[in-house]
Chains A and B, each alone.
Chain A
Amino acid sequence: MRLCRRRVRALRALLVLGLLAPGLLVPGPSVAQDAHDEYEVKAAFLFRIGRAFTWPDSVLDENADTLRVGVLGRDPFGGSLRKVFRGKTSSQGLAFRVVEVASLEEARSCQVLFVPSGVDPERRKWLDELGDSGTLLVGEVPEFVHDQGGILALVLQDNRMGMVLNVEELASSGLQASSQFLRLCTIVGDRSR
């Protein structure tokens, strides 16, 4: 985790540098490096989210002892996600399991589903099907929670990783977030609904 934090800081520093002097940015390998670090941070966030939420028994498999974290489509984490979750358990004592989701059924069995921004539209349609399945849908862009039916988005805001939460979608999914968690997120959607 320490390593992870350090990288986040380095990333922030680079981003600040990039914003202040875009012309100095070197394309190519550095971009690839940034992308890699970004996903490591996102993997860490996914792990924290997995720990922050409590899933009702109804959405968990009967006599299941795992909590499934799925990545829709191609895995952008490059193995760091599995590394983060390996050997860890959720707040409910369930063992995390990272899976690649290739079908709707598979998607429905996941408690956390990461939807990368570059997922193909075909698979994105599955998201509508998963609206009330108790699956926490996590995306990468604000649009994901605004109009694609997503619940949570991990977004770089002001050089730091921020979370955007659609409380309407959250409520309709049957999941609940603690007030402490809500404080950490940018809230969208009508909370009263």
Chain B
Amino acid sequence: MSIPSRLRPSERWGRDLPLRWKLMLLIAVSSSLALAVAGAVTWVQGARQIRHEMEAKCTVLADVVANNLKMAALFEDATDAGAVLRALHAEPSFEEARVFLPDGSSLVAIDREVEEPAPAPLDRMPVREPGHAYVGDDLVVLAPIELPGGAGEIAGWIFLRTNTDALAAHQARSTRTALAMITVGLVVALLIATSLQRVITVPIARLSQVMRIVTEERRYSVRAERGGRDEMGLLINGFNEMLEQIEQRDAALQDARSDLERRVDERTEELRHERDRAEAAALAKSQFLANMSHEIRTPMNGVLGMTELLMQTPLDDEQKDFARTVHGSAEALLTIINDILDFSKIEAGRMEVEWIPFDVRRVAHDTREMLQVRADEKEIELRLDLGPELDRAYVGDPVRIRQVLLNLLSNAVKFTTEGHVELRVSADAKHEGKPRLDIEVIDTGIGIAPDKLAQVFESFTQADSSTTRRFGGTGLGLAISARLVELMGGRLRVESEEGKGSRFHFSLFLEPGEIDDTEGGPLDGVTPRPRNVHTAEVLLVEDNVVNQRLGVTMLEKTGCRVSLAQNGREAVDYCRMGSFDMVFMDCAMPVMDGFEATRAIRALKGSMHSVPIVALTANAMAGDRDRCVAVGMDDYLAKPFNLASLSEMVQRYTRTHDPVVPGAPR
């Protein structure tokens, strides 16, 4: 189907000219050629005939004159011969006539234009034998003058010269005729061709119109008008068949495509269904976990609280030991529950990070403090190395950073049998705009085998399954820590040498911030302890009997005077009538829940509408805190709480009513 690209100009011209003009040109050229040939033949034949006629006429004329000159020639009478010759002037083509005697001498000569032409002998004439010849444009004839009786002897010669004006006139005339014929013929041929070419070009034009529609509009349903049975007809039929096939193929393709689309839709629908089911299942799982945590925390609150209270009663050593063991086990259980809860929150993407100003040093001190006892028990040195630039606040999530540090440090303490565990915190304030906080936990423990390093941060993984058996734990700690560091924009890394120790470290880019440090508080590194320094009026709103007892006992231990409300409505009534320094509000209660009660208290007139309200809830899922803040609560204490945290809350909200609330919007 390739078209030769290199064409001579004439070929390209012949190729690009519209078919209509090609046909016209073809007809014009062939007809004018035919007409020209016909004209030329007519012209030549006419000229030949005219010449023949001229020759015949001239010869006859010469014969007649010769016959008339017999006596004049015989008697060599120039006068009479001249008289005879002068009669030739009547002939239009006559130019010159001469009579010669038999010996060739001139007898007489006349000429149309010359009065008395010079005599000349016969041998100077252009013809010397009887016959004719052409001299220039003239026809000359020589004829004998025969004697009367004709015995072969002659009396002389007659020489005639005639012009060929007739021939020239004929030629001019027939040229004009031929040209006129060609012109008229050409015009007529073109006129006929104009209508005849339609026979060919109109079907082609229709066909190309249809092709244009097909090409531009992609309509394959159009058909070219069927022609006759000639080549054009065959072409059009072939084209139509081609269109038919394309259309069928298109339809088949369309079918296949819609079938495919339908199947894709079906599959997508199936997948969507699967996904919805999976999501529903995940939601159910989360819900289940939330419920579970709530359901477990509520009794755990009792176990821990009561054990704590039990240990402050007079007990003998053995009983104290039992109680301490119960308390330790309950705390371990709570840690595991919290880990699982955190992990499920991370997996569900519901773990959120706060950005609030905090004191890094305090977090580090707190963490060390919490592990100091365990380190002392194992006789391991617990070092804290705080770099400069830390005496200022950074914006971040202290709770999560504390969780990570606690995790790493407790791991380090757990896997170190001798030597030390070091927590290094340093800041590089000049690092690319945002200060960088570098945190390292270094131990001299058992270390991690190189082939296990990569799996350290994976869920439910400890370096060795035997490790779990030897050291306990869920194996979730490092996975949760790594995810938390990622959430805060860092990356937890580990270097370790088996038998020599490990180094866990990460960096966080944190904005510097300002801390409203009116609390003073535990910046000295001392964990608040229950001290009976207050006699605050506290309202506890709690429906569960065990927790009522626990709460009342604990608060009294803290040195508060406690009023108990069974539900939200009672709490609102108490607040309307009495006066309290603060309210501990359970969230899930019959009659009126904690949220509604808080809203009602906040709507009261008088001093009680701004009383500090701290939520007590077992719903330790993300969003609970937001919900509490939204209804106007000041703080949040997750169940199970211990005496220390309860005491801290009391201290915070009764010593000063300035509501410094971590997590409350500022």
Interface residues of chain A, those whose CB is within 8 Å of chain B, are: 1-2, 5, 45, 48, 51-52, 54, 89-93, 178, 180-181, 183-184
Chain B interface SS verdict (over half): loop
Could you name 23 residue pairs across A and B whose Cβ atoms are closer than 8 Å? A1-B102, A1-B103, A2-B103, A2-B105, A5-B105, A48-B74, A48-B75, A51-B147, A51-B148, A52-B71, A90-B149, A91-B147, A91-B148, A91-B150, A92-B149, A93-B149, A93-B151, A180-B72, A183-B80, A183-B83, A184-B72, A184-B77, A184-B80
Partner of B148, one of A54, A183, A184: A54
Min CB distance B256 to A, Å, is 117
Chain B interface (Cβ < 8 Å from any Cβ of A)? 68, 70-72, 74-77, 80, 83, 101-103, 105, 147-151
A188 to B103, CA, bound (A): 34
Please judge, given known A-B contacts A1-B103, A2-B105, A5-B76, whether A183 and B149 are in contact too, CB under 8 Å: no
Checking A54, A90, A183 against B71 with a beta-carbon cut-off of 8 angstroms, the contacting residue is: A183
Q: Which residues of B contact A183 (CB under 8 A)?
A: 71-72, 80, 83
- A91: contacting residue among B68, B77, B83, B151, CB under 8 A: B151
Contact B151 A45 (CB under 8 A): no
CB atoms of A1 and B101 under 8 A apart: yes
Q: Name the residue among A45, A89, A183 with the largest chain B CB count within 10 angstroms.
A: A183
- When distances are taken between beta carbons in the complex, the residues of chain B under 8 Å from A93 are 149, 151
Q: Is the CB of A180 within 8 A of B71?
A: yes
The residues of A that contact B71 with a CB separation of less than 8 Å are 52, 178, 180-181, 183-184
Q: Which residue of A lies closest to B78 (CB)?
A: A160
In the bound complex, do residue A52 and residue B77 qualify as a contact, i.e. CB atoms below 8 Å apart? no
Cβ contacts under 8 Å, B103 to chain A: 1-2
Residues of A within 8 Å of B76, CB to CB, are 5
- Report the bound CA distance from A90 to B148 in whole Å: 9
Alpha-carbon gap, A52 to B80, bound state (A): 15
In the bound complex, residues from chain A placing their C-beta under 8 Å from that of B150 are 91
What is the bound-complex CA distance between A89 and B148, given in angstroms? 12
Residues of A contacting B74 with CB < 8 Å? 48, 51-52
CB A170 to nearest CB in B, in angstroms, measures 15
Chain A residue nearest to B102 in the complex (CB): A1
Interface centre among B70, B74, B103 (most CB of A within 10 A): B74
Q: State the CA gap A93–B147 with chains docked (Å).
A: 12
Q: Report yes or no: A178 in contact with B148, Cβ–Cβ below 8 A.
A: yes
Cβ distance B103 to chain A, nearest Cβ, rounded Å: 5
| Docked complex Cα distance between A67 and B147 (Å) | 17
- Taken together as a complex, chains A and B put the C-alpha atoms of A173 and B102 apart, in Å, by 32
**Contact at B68–A180, with CB atoms within 8 Å?**
yes
Contacts of B80 in A (CB 8 A): 180, 183-184
Asked whether B102 lies within 8 Å of A52 as measured between CB atoms, the reply is: no
Within 8 Å by CB of A45, from B75, B101, B102, lies: B75
The CA-CA distance from A89 to B457 in the complex, in Å, is 162
What is the bound-complex CA distance between A184 and B75, given in angstroms?
8
B149 touching A54 by the CB < 8 A rule? yes
Question: Apart from A51-B147, A92-B149, A178-B148, what 8 extra A-B contacts exist at CB < 8 Å?
Answer: A1-B101, A1-B102, A2-B103, A90-B149, A178-B71, A180-B68, A180-B72, A180-B80
Q: Which residue of A lies closest to B83 (CB)?
A: A183
